[in-house]
Every structure is written in structure tokens, then in C-alpha cells.
Amino acid sequence: MTILMRLVSLILIAAALVFLGADAVTSLERGGELTVRSLDAIWGMLGPASLESFKSWAQNNSPSLAQALYSALALPAWAVTGVLGVILAFVFGRRH
């Protein structure tokens, strides 16, 4: 289990670096205008139908929690995946 979680943390950190690099390249292409893709934007690129169904599920089943979920989806994609990956790496790191 520890090895699997360390692999997941490595994948999350690599994804964060990819998202950060994509944001940097897009910012350079736009002449220095800062571009940060949110988790919502990345999910919308990968599966727009699943994103809309998740949002409607959240709104219908838990309206009080829906705003918190929308706020979490508005966070930068590189920050969410990177922080989660680093936390998992520390928790499931090597034991001496």
C-alpha cells in the first residue's frame, strides 16, 4: 500500500509540474499576460459532461456544500495536485 501511495504522489507532483509548465508557456504566448488554469478548466477539457453532471449532483444533493466544491474547483490545477502530492509523499515517505 505504501508503494502504491508513493507512486500516486509522484504522479500528482508530475501532473502539477505539467500544469505549471503549461500555464507558463500560455502566459508567454499571450505576451506576458498571466494565465492560470483552474481545476474546473482542466476537468472541463478532459470531460465536460462529467464536470456538468458532478456540478448538478453537488447542487441537488448538498446545496450547502456545493459552494465549497465550486470554490475548490476554482483553485489553480497545479496547486491542488502539487499540494496533495507533496502531502502524500510526506505521509507515505520512506521510514528509517
Residue 83's nearest CA partner among 20, 1, 3 is 20
Question: Same domain, yes or no, for 17 and 45?
Answer: no
For the entire predicted model, the pTM comes to: 0.83
* Dihedral, CA of residue 7, residue 9, residue 12 and residue 17, to nearest 10: -100
pLDDT, tens only, 5-18: 999 999 999 999 99
Task: Give the containing element (helix H, strand E) for 36.
Answer: none
Q: How many domains does the chain have?
A: 2
91: containing domain:
1-36+77-96
Question: Same domain, yes or no, for 32 and 3?
Answer: yes
pLDDT, tens only, 18-77: 999 999 999 999 998 999 999 999 999 999 999 999 999 999 998 889 999 999 999 999
